[in-house]
Chains A and B, each alone.
Chain A
Amino acid sequence: MTEPTVRERPLSPHLQIYRPMLTMVMSITNRITGGALYFGMALFVLWLAAAASGPNAFATVQAVYGSWLGLLILIGFTWALMLHTLAGIRHLIWDMGLGLDLKSIEWGAVAVLTGSIVLTLALWLYVLLRGAPT
């Protein structure tokens, strides 16, 4: 009885094969920001819980969130939220069967990225120029 010859099966090409393109990077970023926001939501709930606990707990959380590291995380959180929201709206538009041609897809990727940066800058400039965040 002959043994069947074992040969290398072809694998479908994965990420490292392709030249990175903006549309692909935006798709990956949408998932990564979703994962980051998953944990960011816990920070928001912690802030709400601190407010419910009383002025002392709230002051502690505000001090931690207002530190340079806290602000850095909050600015990152804001950007992730803006990007994931805009990218999500883009997905909802696709789900209606609209904007699926190459030109719209390329344009949408640029729009989501630019929009997320502009909105993040606008929100934080407003907060920081208005006065002390605590």
Chain B
Amino acid sequence: MTSFRTPLGRVVGLGSAKSGVHHWWMERVTALLAVPLVVFLIGFILATAGGGHQAVVTAIRHPVVAVLLIAAIITIVRHMQLGMQVILEDYVHGKVTLLAGLIANNLFCIVVAVAGVAAVIVTCFGA
């Protein structure tokens, strides 16, 4: 059987740094967590969307709803960031454009996550 180890790897004799599958693994972990959180989000929207502003605010002020909303935002945005990175790495070939795309991806995800979490917290503690 052919060895998949690099010449350097054979000489140094060390194993992998165990981080090779980190991106792939985090994508699966966030996906698994996102499934029940998406079900929660749909339930939240169905329960509040018909009741106007007051119904939405009242629902978000329930601590369980607030915590689940924040968990959903963080989990889903992390999944978005990982997924978009793979899409960019697959289709963007220029070194500079890829780097710019990856930075833009991170910025977008940070803004969406911070805005979402801030909105939940402000709704909970705002006037």
- Residue numbers of A with Cβ under 8 A of B are 31, 34-35, 37-38, 41-42, 44-46, 48-49, 51-52, 54-55, 58-59, 62, 81, 85, 88-89, 91-92, 95, 123, 126-127, 130-134
Bound Cα distance A52, B115 (Å): 10
Selected interface stretch from B1-9, B12-20, B47-55, B93-101: B47-55
User: How far is it, in angstroms, between the C-alpha of A45 and the C-alpha of B120 when the chains are bound?
Assistant: 9
Q: Provided the pairs A45-B112, A45-B116, A89-B35 are in contact, do residues A51 and B53 lie with their beta carbons within 8 angstroms?
A: yes
Please, how many angstroms separate the alpha-carbon atoms of A132 and B51 in the complex? 10
A31 vs B83: C-alpha distance when bound (angstroms): 9
Q: B41 contacts which chain A residues (CB < 8 A)?
A: 44
In the complex, the chain B residue whose C-beta lies closest to that of A91 is B31
Residue B38 interfacial (CB < 8 Å): yes
Per DSSP, chain B at the interface is: helix
**What residues of chain B have their CB less than 8 Å away from a CB belonging to chain A?**
28, 31-32, 34-35, 38, 41-42, 46, 49-50, 52-54, 56-57, 60, 69, 73, 76-77, 80, 83-84, 87, 108, 112, 115-116, 118-120, 122-123, 126
- Across the interface, do B84 and A130 meet the contact criterion of CB distance under 8 Å? no
What residue in chain B is nearest A81 (Cβ atoms)? B38
Q: Which residues of A contact B52 (CB under 8 A)?
A: 58, 62, 134
Chain B nearest CB: distance from A62 CB in Å?
8
Among A49, A54, A91, A132, the one with the most B-chain Cβ atoms within 10 Å of its Cβ is A49
Nearest B-chain residue to A56, judged by Cβ: B53
Partner of B119, one of A52, A85, A91, A131: A52
Residues of B within 8 A of A91 (CB): 28, 31
Residues in chain A near residue B56, CB distance under 8 A: 51, 58
9 contacts between A and B (CB under 8 A): A31-B87, A35-B87, A42-B108, A45-B115, A45-B116, A51-B60, A52-B122, A55-B53, A81-B38
